[in-house]
Amino acid sequence: MREIQFREALREAMQEEMRNDENIYLMGEEVAEYNGAYKVSQGMLDEFGAKRVIDTPISELGFAGIGIGSAMNGLKPIIEFMTFNFSLVAIDQIINGAAKIMSMSGGQFSVPIVFRGPTGNAGMLSSQHSQCFENWYANCPGLKVVVPSNPADAKGLLKSCIIDPDPCIFMESELMYGDKGEVPEETYYIPIGKAAVTKEGSDVTLVGFGKIMKVVNAAAAELEKEGIHAEVIDLRTVRPIDYPCIIESVKKTNRLVIVEESWPLGSIATEIAFKVQKDAFDYLDAPILRIMGGDVPLPYAPTLIQEYLPNPERVIKAVKEVMYVTK
């Protein structure tokens, strides 16, 4: 093990797979000459050349479509969006193109493509640059949606996405690129669709994914000090969702709190709550609670951002509510 940054883990994943397969290439705004807007692709132009690390104009619709067409013809593109907020310009290509071509062609074409970049808030960037798109893309059959929370998962999952025969949405965060964590030196892959139980517990199950795991972990640590033993699940993938992992945990703890940054309506948390009450209703000793972002466009003011986002205090309050603890 060695400790590296989140951005370095992503870079290693791309470099390793590009060395293994010359059909893999990276394309997006500022990925080449500028070494990436967030320095994820630093040095990759020098190693792989301009034919495999390609700068594009500000034209998400265009380069997403080029990537899909090239994937249909045997290449394996990695398309970087500077933020998934800008993927809205290309969403027709992703939803009506990449996600549907395999089924609409009767299996004649596959689309082995990765769309990657940051999602969610990144500080004072206001409404248009702070949206969560995990549940948007997870709603669409034909896509796999991956949202890692730490450098080791980011590398192993990105490598799995790059070699996957189907289109993958890989979501990061500007607030995580500098995060450090232990990453194995040997080659490894993490299966898509497999959640991780990152902390064992017996009193309540906490579920989250992506950078919100920092909030979940902080809440679990505080609860432990009060004698409340939370089991923590990092989903890692939100399509497919590892329901068996969640349900097995709920059978043990009998309580569930889900933490997610996105707007409440149609969220990943909503879907998990439905599935658990359907398949594990008899094991629940309390209603399922969820801690979500505010149901408004994200404000610019830092004080309002603080009110909008989930935090450990809200999670702790929810846990005590499902445990009927009054103090």
Domain ranges within the chain, ordered by starting residue: 2-183, 196-323
290-317 pLDDT tens trace: 999 999 999 999 999 999 999 999 999 9
Asked if domains 2-183 and 196-323 share a fold, the reply is yes
Reduce the DSSP state of residue 161 to 3 states and report it.
helix
pTM here is: 0.96
Cα dihedral: 39, 174, 87, 304 (round 10)? -150
92-105 pLDDT tens trace: 999 999 999 999 99
What is 2-183's CATH number? 3.40.50.970
pLDDT value, residue 151: 98
Confidence of residue 326 (pLDDT cuts 50, 70, 90): confident
129 is catalytic: yes
44-94 pLDDT tens trace: 999 999 999 999 999 999 999 999 999 999 999 999 999 999 999 999 999
37-51 pLDDT tens trace: 999 999 999 999 999
What is 196-323's CATH number? 3.40.50.920
pLDDT at 327 over 80: no
pLDDT value, residue 96: 97
Q: Are 287 and 256 in contact (CB under 8 A)?
A: no
Q: Which of 129, 134, 231, 260 is catalytic?
A: 129
Distance CA 263, CA 132 (A): 8
Distance CA 146, CA 193 (A): 8
229 is catalytic: no
Q: Which of 29, 60, 80, 134 is catalytic?
A: 60
- Residue 41 phi, psi (nearest 5): -95, 25
Per 3-state DSSP, what percentage of the chain is helix, strand, and coil (rounded to 5)?
Answer: 40, 20, 40
149-192 pLDDT tens trace: 999 999 999 999 999 999 999 999 999 999 999 999 999 999 99
219-274 pLDDT tens trace: 999 999 999 999 999 999 999 999 999 999 999 999 999 999 999 999 999 999 99
Reduce the DSSP state of residue 36 to 3 states and report it.
coil
Distance CA 325, CA 166 (A): 46
